[in-house]
Amino acid sequence: MQLSPAMQKVLGEQVTLELEASMVYLQLSIQLDALDLPGMTRWMRAQSEEEQVHAAKFIQHCQDRDFAPQIGDIAAPKVSGSQPIDFFKAALAHEEKVSESIRNLYRTAQSEGDLDVLPLLHWFIDEQVEEESTISEIIGRLDHVADSGSGLLRIDSELGSRHPDIKADSE
């Protein structure tokens, strides 16, 4: 089934948004690296790479359906803050934006009667619930340690033990 013009539009926008998310995480990793937090830096860089995989999933779906999406303009990420919790709150805000976009994609698919895209969107809906939950938990932990340097370093160490997610690429 070919994509309707409405689906082409929203899927193309989603590709751009996923790549934007990758740039946001990359910027956050740079800022955390400047704070000498290598674990959080590594975690954010892994997130950046995962967002590129997400964009590739949408691109592949479009190409499989005879549509070549055009990547839109991606503005330089504007991230402010000085503490790790600020950067994770920025990450959560962006994930919430992505989640809403995917819900809108789902609504468009329903209105267009596009059943073929639904398995992909179901995967992304589950993924977004997991992403928001994970980041919310990190924010909660950072809030608990507040100004405790040893607590912050422990969280940094734990986040640094993250291995690259191959699940995003294999599902």
Residue set of the binding site for Fe cation: 18, 51, 54, 95, 128
**Nearest by Cα to 54 from 15, 23, 103:** 15
Cβ proximity of 153 and 36 under 8 Å: no
37 CB neighbour count, 10 Å cutoff: 23
Q: Which residues sit in the known binding site?
A: 18, 51, 54, 95, 128
8 Å CB contact between 3 and 120: no
Radius of gyration of the chain from its Cα atoms, rounded to whole angstroms: 17
Asked if 122 and 57 count as a contact pair (C-beta separation under 8 A), the reply is no
Structure tokens at 24: 């946001």
- C-alpha–C-alpha distance, residues 66 and 110, integer Å: 20
